[in-house]
Amino acid sequence: MSTQIPFDNSYARLPAQFFTRQPATPVAAPRLIVFNHDLAAQMGITPGDEADLAQIFSGNQTPDGAEPLAQAYAGHQFGGFSPQLGDGRALLLGEVVRPDTGQRLDIQLKGSGPTPYSRMGDGRAWLGPVLREYLLCEAMHALGVPTTRALAAVSTGQPILREAGPLPGAILTRVAASHIRVGTFEYFAARRDTQALQALFDYTCARHYPGASDPVMLLDAVIARQAELVAHWHAIGFIHGVMNTDNTTLSGETIDYGPAAFMDAYHPVTVYSSIDRNGRYAYDNQSRVIVWNLAQLASALVPLMPDQDEAIEIFTNQINAMPDRLLAARALRMGAKLGLDMADPGDQGLVDMLLKMMQDHGADFTNTFRALAETGDAPDLRAAQDYGAWSARWQQRLQARPMARAQMLAANPAFIARNHRVEQMISAATQGDFAPFHRLLQVLQRPYDSQPDAADLQAPPQPHEVVQATFCGT
Ligand code: AMP
Ligand code: MG
């Protein structure tokens, strides 16, 4: 039986400058690695057999109703503007509307061959980044963080050449609320194509913010979603790694897991990405960077305002108010990790003091909070001079918080996608062993449950296992 996808495409109806129609480039011997049956069911997809899924999600066969296209966008990368990026190795197949919620979802192939936006790239992806993104986005979803999802991963049977030599090729199928990025707005603003900009604005509001009727309202809504998103990242020790404006969505979903990583030992300037040499996208900096990114969105929206001077003044005020909104969202999430509602003037101090001790003692971010939630004690911090006093103050404060324990268990995962486990999983898969991938995926689907059989996946890395750098994998 062949796979049925109830496509209902809208992006393909936008003006021609928004994209280039482009079929996928066939691959030699596609094989299905994994298919997300739960997500498919939510999307109203009827899956065919494995061979058929491999044909479709490798791009070898274009399913009925698909209108493959590469989206145009620009973006600020590490602060510098690239007026022309676009899908260089991805194709939007089309959209479906979820039968249960009415939400419109993009289906995108990533690694499906060259497009007019590929520049020097081959349009392909290797197995490592494909499995990494599959695992990380599904883990983020299970953690409760807004994110794009993974529908399928297929190996291509075709080696691709990277610096390290030939690597197994693969294709990821990604599902997203949309792929509209800050960089999509920048693309048309940079070209002074106000008509297209207006069309993009109308489309974005209709799709994501039906309550917004002008750019001020859109910016406000995106600020709210992105502040909440980045606060979420901080609360689970997530480092996106490449927060360029082309990787910042209008929907407020986490997107593009190239060098993304979860922190082991807590340190505010933790950086994993090999190309982030100055720590622009370090853990703690993410709060500042998202404000900067939304300032770029604001600039791109200026031409849509009736009075440009007034627009700049209003947008500047909105952007200037964002750090406080983010700080407030972050404080609530960090407080919840300690069972606090941040209503007491001492609550922020309890959070800050704990983080300081964790930093000084190299305590594991995830496990320290989880231990406090489970037992009220953090063994990693017993050696800290201030730990006793801190603990006494915290315990005293918790007496007024009868629901604290339940709140803490729901805010502190036992399981994150630890870098060393991800790297070990990729090494195994490269040798043809997908068991570690499937096991990690299964465990990370229930990150807040205690899973005694998976204690090895909870442990921080041994010194020789520590991952020093992650790579975009392009
Ligand atoms: P990313 O870092 O994945 O967000 O990609 C930044 C830009 O580089 C986007 O325009 C991508 O489509 C493009 N790109 C990344 N990898 C490749 C590749 N292997 N071939 C062609 N274009 C690529
Ligand atoms: Mg990207």
| Assigned domain for 438 exists | no
- 19, containing H or E segment: strand 19-21
Q: Is 224 exposed, middle or buried (0-12, 13-18, 19+ CB in 10 A)?
A: middle
| Assigned domain for 420 exists | no
Domain count, the chain: 2
The atom number, within ligand 1, closest to the CA of 125 reads 19
- 361, containing H or E segment: helix 347-361
pLDDT in tens, the chain (474 residues): 799 999 999 999 999 999 999 999 999 999 999 999 999 999 999 999 999 999 999 999 999 999 999 999 999 999 999 999 999 999 999 999 999 999 999 999 999 999 999 999 999 999 999 999 999 999 999 999 999 999 999 999 999 999 889 999 999 999 999 999 999 999 999 999 999 999 999 999 999 999 999 999 999 999 999 999 999 999 999 999 999 999 999 999 999 999 999 999 999 999 999 999 999 999 999 999 999 999 999 999 999 999 999 999 999 999 999 999 999 999 999 999 999 999 999 999 999 999 999 999 999 999 999 999 999 999 999 999 999 999 999 999 999 999 999 999 999 999 999 999 999 999 999 999 999 999 999 999 999 999 999 999 999 999 999 998 888 776
For 466, the token pair is: 């520590």
Final residue before a domain boundary, out of 138, 161, 176: 176
pLDDT, tens only, 23-69: 999 999 999 999 999 999 999 999 999 999 999 999 999 999 999 99
Instruction: Mark whether 67 and 110 lie in a shared domain.
Output: yes
Instruction: Mark whether 361 and 375 lie in a shared domain.
Output: yes
Q: CA 312, CA 335: separation in Å to the nearest integer?
A: 35
Q: How far is the CA of 258 from the centre of ligand 2 (A)?
A: 8
| Assigned domain for 451 exists | no
Final residue before a domain boundary, out of 176, 204, 228: 176
- 162, containing H or E segment: strand 149-162
Instruction: Mark whether 203 and 107 lie in a shared domain.
Output: no
Q: CA 332, CA 272: separation in Å to the nearest integer?
A: 26
Are the CB atoms for 181 and 246 separated by under 8 Å?
yes
Question: Which residues have CB atoms below 5 A from the ion given as ligand 2?
Answer: 247, 256
* Residue for token pair 């899924």: 53
Final residue before a domain boundary, out of 385, 412, 439: 412
Instruction: Mark whether 155 and 188 lie in a shared domain.
Output: no
Ligand nearest the Cα atom of residue 86: 1
Q: How far is the CA of 91 from the centre of ligand 1 (A)?
A: 12
Instruction: Mark whether 234 and 372 lie in a shared domain.
Output: yes
For residue 386, indicate whether it is catalytic: no
Among residues 154, 125, 149, 146, the alpha carbon closest in space to that of 135 is found at: 149
Instruction: Mark whether 324 and 297 lie in a shared domain.
Output: yes
Ligand 1 cavity residues, CB under 6 Å: 85-89, 117-118, 121-124, 242, 246-247, 256, 258, 472, 474
Instruction: Mark whether 38 and 123 lie in a shared domain.
Output: yes
Which residues constitute the domain of residue 68?
11-176
Q: CA 355, CA 28: separation in Å to the nearest integer?
A: 51
Instruction: Mark whether 161 and 193 lie in a shared domain.
Output: no
| Assigned domain for 448 exists | no
Please list the residues that pair with 31 across neighbouring strands.
Answer: 155
